[in-house]
Structure 1
Amino acid sequence: MPVSAAARALALRCERRAGELARRMAHESFEALPGYAELPADVKDLEIAGTARHGVRLFLRRVADPRSGHGGYRLFRERAAQRAEEGMPLHLLLRTHALGMYVLWQALREEAGPGEEAALVELVDLLLQHHHGVVGAVAETYLDERSAIEAERRAQRRAVVRGLLDGMLPPGHASLDRLSLEGPLLVLAIDIGRPCAPEGPVVVRRRLRRIQTVLDKTFGTEVLTLLDAGPEGAADSGRAVVPADCEPPEDLSQRLSTACGREVRVAAVPAGDLGAVPEAARTATEVLRIARACGLPAGTHRLDDVLLEFHLSRPGPSGDRIAALLDPVGDRPELVETLRTHLEHRQDRRATAAALGLHPNTVDNRLAKIAQRTGLDLSSPRGTALALAALLLR
């Protein structure tokens, strides 16, 4: 847009005052902003004053020659990235730019003489347009830098938590200091059920954030978590470490299920110290697997809830042989399911039939086929124990 000769002349007179205006901004005007006084003197004297001087000259030179770029917003972006890295609040950074524009407007008004009212209005219009571009560049760069810093911090924190849970970082490792963990701990294993339909990455990230939010609110602290989305159509999973005095509430599973809209199971296992965390994490994962395999309803599971099943499912030389006892019915899933349901219902044929939607005689026929094929005597305590162990091991 063409600029009038009168507006260019007024801008030229103000350009001679660029250094003075920059000092006024950095050492007088900005001092009224909350938090500005705490900034280091060299930041004010060199970087902020230099950026203010650049901003004044950039605008006034663009008025003199609208076709020239004069460096664009590169310096503003560089300084915004620095302020983001140093932790300056975004509102303070944007207020300095807004107040700087106001100081420049005051200078233009002071320089304007009688008959230059139209030129002053023209410059104010251009100044507002210029400020719009500067604020956009500064805010965009600041937020991008903060996002990158936070992503790096989360990645580092996640790597440390993974190292702790997997036993890759021994107690006393320097990286563990940043986690601020002391005393007895509690390790959680989390299983988030399969989705009903395919989900996009945004939905997955939102669900994992909700899980994190519920855990933080429940335990009153920023919970250390590793939450991972499973392959498409598979269940998500996670692990977490919390102080041992934060005993999980009985309805934790329900809270998580409500937050993410999917069935959630949780296993909780105590760890006496940091060195015990990896074993506790492995135990919690196994408790979760066994609770699911045994058909327990979703909830908050502990080792005592599946103590016998946990013991029976431990690997050993006899494990494969016990699991193989059910190989003869391995090709008949309805027989395996009948056996599992029959044991879950305390070998009550009518309750088993009701659970499976079958006639009791059908249950009897299936149990007879199981006994015939496997040789297991389900009417004896030993046969029942072997069948239970075989189901767990399989």
Structure 2
Amino acid sequence: MLTIDENLCTPVHSEGSTTAAALNEFAMSLLSGGHINLSVARHFQIPAAGSFVVVATAFSSPDVATTDRPTVVPDAWLADIRRCLAAECGFPVPALLGPTHATILIPGSSVLGRRIGDIHPLLCAAARHAITAVAIESENESISAAAETAHELLDVAIRLRKKSRLYSMDQLALEYQITRPGPGRDRLVSVLEPLEEYPELIQTLAEFVSQGFDRQRSARRLCVHVNTIDYRMRRISSLTGLPVSHGTRWRLFAALTARAFVRGEHCQRGSADIPAVADGPEY
């Protein structure tokens, strides 16, 4: 799991200017639970009152990645990210920018803070790559906890191979809760253990759930006949003892989510036996 200490404090050597160093120190102070350095905030005209939007970012695209190596963004492009953020906000933005991940602190009262959705295309353009990010707004005294939660949510999005976009807590809260360690998650993972020898059944079930239990759409997506979908559903029910129906849709979604998250710890991202997990079924 990503942590600030291990992944987010990698120094950006080409940004070794006084400005970058001061902004890094400012961000580190907030992320470690310290107080705002008013002298730095006033010098750079960073709004210090109110809240910050914490943006946890991964410079990788889980929906297209085929390797377990994270995308590495060159130092020059990281400098471009700083410049783009400053241009958008009207002042230098405190941020820890590493070659694979970043933590960006956007003042909530700023133009970008009020329309945080605009940060995703801005970051994609500056990084020259699709990115996945999570944004959480927090009061100053809670920034450290918000950053930890944001990166935990980011980890969920990456392991579940969610689409590259900007997410909020509301959009990942269900998956986040399902994937927390404990006996509940262990039980959910065990539901699909009888299918481990049959990757085509796992893939079919994941597609069936993501298509709202629609046989026709699932068959088209998998390029098979509808009768094949029916046969595989019967095999899944027989092996797991769980009927594949609307009545079990949430349990099946939860089991697929827990399995994908746990296997993401051990298998390379993008592996064929870890299907991307779609959003939960509709009520």
Normalised TM-score (structure 1): 0.52
Aligned to 1:243: 107
Deviation at residue 163 of structure 1 after TM alignment: 4.9
Q: Distance in 1 between matches of 2:98 and 2:103?
A: 9
Specify whether residues 361 and 196 from structure 1 end up closer, same or farther in structure 2 by C-alpha distance, changes over 3 A only: closer
Determine the C-alpha separation between the residues in 2 that align with 1:313 and 1:298: 20
> Is 2:226 the partner of 1:356?
no
| SS, match of residue 377 in structure 1 | coil
Q: Percent identity?
A: 26
Q: CA deviation at 1:380?
A: 4.5
Name the CA distance, whole Å, in 2 between partners of 1:149 and 1:300. Answer: 26
Q: Are 1:366 and 2:235 matched, yes or no?
A: no
In the TM superposition, residue 292 of structure 1 has moved relative to its aligned partner by 4.1
- 1:193 equivalenced with 2:63 (yes/no): no
Instruction: Specify every segment of 5 or more residues in structure 1 that has no aligned partner in the other structure, as ranges.
Output: 1-146, 230-235
Distance 1:199 1:226 in 2: 17
Aligned equivalents of 1:196, 1:310: Cα separation in 2: 24
**What is the Cα deviation at residue 338 of structure 1?**
2.2
Matched with 1:222 is: 92
Q: Write the deviation string for residues 153-202 of structure 1: whole angstroms up to 9, x where unpaired.
A: 6446435523532x3xx343xx744553332111001122268999998x
Structure 2, gaps ≥5 residues long: 1-12, 42-47, 260-283
Q: How does 1:103-182 map to 2 (within 5 A)?
A: 150-151=16-17, 154-155=20-21, 157-165=23-31, 167=32, 170-172=33-35, 176-177=37-38, 179-180=40-41, 181-182=48-49
Q: Report whether the alignment pairs 1:378 with 2:244.
A: yes
Asked whether the 8 Å contact 1:377–1:384 carries over to 2, the reply is: no
Instruction: Give yes or no for the alignment of 1:263 onto 2:130.
Output: yes
1:215-265 C-alpha deviation (Å, 9 max, x unpaired): 223333311112222xxxxxx221111111213443432232233331112
Moved more, 306-315 or 189-198: 189-198
- Decide whether aligned partners of structure 1 residues 185 and 332 sit closer, same or farther in structure 2, where only a CA change above 3 A counts: same
Query: Which residue matches 1:327?
Result: 193
Q: Answer yes or no: is the 8 Å Cα contact 1:293–1:392 preserved in 2.
A: no
- Report how far residue 277 of structure 1 moved: 0.8
- Residue aligning to 1:388: 253
Greater relative CO (CA pairs within 8 A, separation 6+): 2
Given the alignment of the two structures, is residue 206 of structure 1 paired with residue 73 of structure 2, yes or no? no
Partner SS state of residue 318, structure 1: helix
The answer to whether the 8 Å contact 1:309/1:392 transfers is: yes
Deviation at 1:268, TM superposition (A): 0.7
Offset of 1:373 from its aligned partner? 2.1
Supply the distance in 2 between the matched residues of 1:196 and 1:390 (Cα, whole angstroms).
24
TM-score normalised by structure 2 residue count: 0.69
3-state SS, counterpart of residue 216 of structure 1: helix
Change (3 A) 1:318 1:222: same
Q: Give every structure 1 segment of 4 or more consecutive aligned residues whose post-TM-superposition deviation is greater than 6 Å.
A: 195-201
Contact persistence 1:225–1:239 (CA under 8 A): yes
Counterpart AA for 2:108: A
| 8 Å CA contact 1:290, 1:392 repeated in 2 | no
Q: Is the 8 A contact 1:251 1:299 kept in 2?
A: no
Aligned to 2:230, the other structure's residue is in SS state helix
**Match runs of 1:17-166 below 5 Å:** 150-151=16-17, 154-155=20-21, 157-165=23-31
Aligned in 2, Cα 1:214/1:349: closer, same or farther, shift over 3 Å? farther
> Cα distance, 1:322 vs. partner?
1.5
2:59 touches 2:70 (CA, 8 Å); kept in 1?
no
Match of 1:317 among 183, 191, 216: 183
Q: Flag the 1:300–1:327 CA change in 2: closer, same or farther, 3 A.
A: same
Secondary structure in 1 aligned to 2:114?
A: coil
Shift of residue 318 of structure 1? 1.7
Amino acid in structure 1 at the alignment position of 2:94: L
